[in-house]
Amino acid sequence: MAGMMKGWKRTNQAGELCEAAAGLQVTLTGWVQRTRNLGGLIFVWLRDKSGLVQLVFDAEVCGEECFKLGESLGREYVLAVKGEVRLRETDAINDKLKTGKIEVFVKEATLLNSSATPPIYIEDDTKDNETVRLKYRYLDLRRPVMRDILLLRSRVLSTIRRYMDGQGFSEIETPILTKSTPEGARDFLVPSRLHQGEFYALPQSPQIYKQLLMLAGMERYYQVARCFRDEDNRADRQPEFTQVDIEMSFIEQEDIQAVVEGAFAAVFREQMGIELTLPLPRMTWRHAMDTYGSDKPDTRYGLELIDASRIVNQCGFSVFENAVGAGGSVRGIRVPGGAERFSRKEIDALTEYVKTYRAKGLAWASIGADGAAKSSFFKFISQEKQSELIAAMGAGAGDLLVWVADKNSVVYQSLGALRQEIARRMDIIPKGQYDLFWVVEFPLFELDEETGAYNAMHHPFTSAMAEDIGALTTDRGSVRANAYDLVLNGIEMGSGSIRIHESDMQARMFEMLGLSQEEARHRFGFLLEAFKYGAPPHGGFAFGVDRLIMMLTGAESLRDVIAFPKAQNASCLMMDTPSDVKDEQLEVLGLKLDV
């Protein structure tokens, strides 16, 4: 029968015992990982938060009653034992266990709780379906790999907090129930009982509050903030997530970048044993797009984009000519050794791949070992133009060349994704390498090709670079933002900017983004009013904790680094949420459903 602790106090963590503990009398608690009954001896792996240790139930040592208890143990039974740490015989050492040179001979044991047969295996190499694992998340978190991820997450946050405190920042909490404001994604709305027909919104970020804290004179603020966005899930997205939010007054871009770099350097040094070289490299947005087709490029491998537009203009191949003539471009990638690596069938598969990114197709040329070229389009252009194009791509024997011709947005997006796909298929992405750098000089606005309207590329509180302010009225598309993103191995870690801090300029920005004066006052009147009372120059940054842990651990999904994540469809399989509520609850809120 299961019992309480009965005054037993754990003396040691199971996974921390080592040779130096030989001879110690210890009290351990934990879960039964597995058992092996050899008749007169029963071997039990006991697991707690620190790891595993082998227990030995020997009838001559622990007595008949205790031995019977050992015989009754099943997977995930909760157990407390008292015993002696002993060195294993040389031929019994288990090098796979951190505690593999010792074992604990049990003298007393008490069963704290039994367990039903678990629906998943509590092992790192489990093949259990993710849906089942998410439904029984509390069991999935017992797996050492999941436990270690959560413990690393805790240590990373502790490192960040120590660093920020040491830099003179104050941790200040901002509201969770806030005002619905357009920041790009949909808000989660919360109905008000006291103000029926009106709604709070869960914050997509503490953006406005942290700017108001700068106006309040706090100067250096940070927060480990919970944020919410009602958007479709992807591997690197969750409807609720955690970010480290930072804001500073009386600074310029380089000042806040230095603080953020210091935080990341502290994490890499203390938790990964890696020294980052500071300051981190800077790359302009234009260079990132032209070279990698992405504003968050993975720079651990080559496969860079090459602009062939000038060469193929009026080359005789209408697909290329039409793209350039319409203001688009023709860009390609040289794949070293790709001629032998990719068969015609695989090239066709790559063609279908880029079509998922709106490209109409993929032009290609394969250079054989003898220098002869096979191509999907060379028959349309002259021998001279073929040679010029191959030379411009820097190609040689054995290389594969691929091109996309379209408007620039499609060319960048499709080739940016294609270079990643080719690198993955060729297995050329270095393991254990961390390329961390800044992308700067983003456009302030991005053009919506469907509506023709300009939207803020980051958010409407970002300032223009000082030298571009004059172009706000003459050439809006050329204006660069005083913004900066931090990129790690092709993943955006975080984003920041120097903010607008003048009421008139902020009102002008709202107007340029299509907000009427009435709508701007309704949504942001409090901010425009606040800026009239001496707002200091300020800027900030926010980076995702979940993404950082995903990168540090090599996890494939954010769901692997969050204690209780949502599934792909934004539901919680464990608690069966979202779920319906009683009619009486809706009546109190003054709501009726029309679903």
pLDDT digits (tens, 9 = 90+) for 536-594: 999 999 999 999 999 999 998 899 999 999 998 889 999 999 999 999 999 999 999 88
Split into its structural domains, the chain has a count of 3
> Do 262 and 320 have their domain in common?
no
261 is a domain residue: yes
131 assigned to some structural domain: no
Among residues 426, 450, 477, the one where a domain terminates is: 426
pLDDT digits over 503-526, tens only?
Answer: 999 999 998 988 889 988 888 999
Assess if residue 125 is contained within a domain. Answer: no
In a domain, 48, yes or no: yes
Do 404 and 455 lie in one domain? The reply is no
* Shared-domain flag, residues 248 and 206: yes
| CB 442, CB 313: distance < 8 Å | no
What is the b/e burial string over 197-214, where b = at least 16 CB atoms within 10 angstroms of the residue's CB? eeebbbbbbbbbbbbbbb
Q: Are residues 329 and 272 part of one domain? A: no
Question: Looking at the predicted structure, is the pLDDT value of residue 333 above 60?
Answer: yes
Does 395 lie in the same domain as 309?
yes
Torsion angles phi and psi, residue 205, rounded to 5: -165, 165
Specify if 289 maps to a domain: no
The residue among 368, 401, 426 that closes a domain is 426
d(CA 229, CA 206): 12
For 379-398, what is the mean pLDDT? 94
DSSP-based three-state secondary structure for 538: strand
Dist CA 369 CA 14 (whole Å): 60
> What element of type H or E holds 152?
helix 144-166
Q: Which domain holds residue 456?
A: 152-283+436-562
pLDDT tens digits for range 37-61: 998 899 999 999 999 999 999 999 9
Question: Percentage of the chain surpassing pLDDT 70?
Answer: 98
Q: Are residues 539 and 464 in the same domain?
A: yes
- Answer whether the bond into residue 239 is a cis peptide, omega within 30°: no
Q: Identify the burial level of 164 via C-beta atoms within 10 angstroms of its C-beta, where 0-12 means exposed, 13-18 middle and 19 or more buried.
A: buried
**Contact between residue 458 and residue 492 where contact means Cβ atoms under 8 Å apart:** no
> pTM, whole model, 2 decimals?
0.92
- How confident is the model at residue 237, as a pLDDT? 81
* pLDDT band of 234, cuts 50, 70, 90: low
Does residue 333 lie in a domain region? yes
Cα–Cα distance, 90 to 87 (Å, whole number): 9
Q: What is the mean pLDDT of residues 239-243?
A: 95
**Each residue of 109-143: pLDDT tens digit?**
999 999 999 999 998 888 789 999 999 999 999 99
Helices (H), 167-284: 207-215, 253-267
Let me know whether 305 and 263 are in one domain: no
Please report, as a single letter, which amino acid is at residue 403: W
Residue 232: is its pLDDT beyond 90?
Answer: no
CATH code where residue 44 lies: 2.40.50.140
pLDDT digits (tens, 9 = 90+) for 281-330: 999 999 999 999 999 999 999 999 999 999 999 898 999 999 999 999 99
- Mean pLDDT for the chain overall: 94
Contacts of 32 (CB under 8 A, 6+ apart): 44, 45, 46, 47, 73, 74, 75, 76, 77, 78, 79
Residue 72's pLDDT is: 96
Euclidean distance between CA atoms 532 and 550, whole angstroms: 42
**Residue 381 in domain:** yes
Report the candidate in 242, 241, 236, 234 with the shortest Cα–Cα distance to residue 569: 234
| Residue 181, pLDDT above cutoff 80 | no
Domain containing 450 — which CATH number?
3.30.930.10
* Residue whose entry in the numeric block shows the structure tokens 């480290």: 244
Which of 79-83, 295-299, 467-471 has the least mean pLDDT? 467-471
Residue 389 within a domain: yes
408 and 487 in a single domain? The answer is no
Asked if the model's pLDDT at residue 182 lies above 60, the reply is: no
Q: Please say which residue of 426, 453, 485 terminates a domain.
A: 426
Indicate if the pLDDT at residue 184 is higher than 70. no
Q: Residue 580 and residue 344: Cα distance in Å, rounded?
A: 53
Residues 380 and 441 reside in one and the same domain: no
Do residues 278 and 317 share a domain?
A: no
- What pLDDT, on the 0 to 100 scale, is given for residue 478? 92
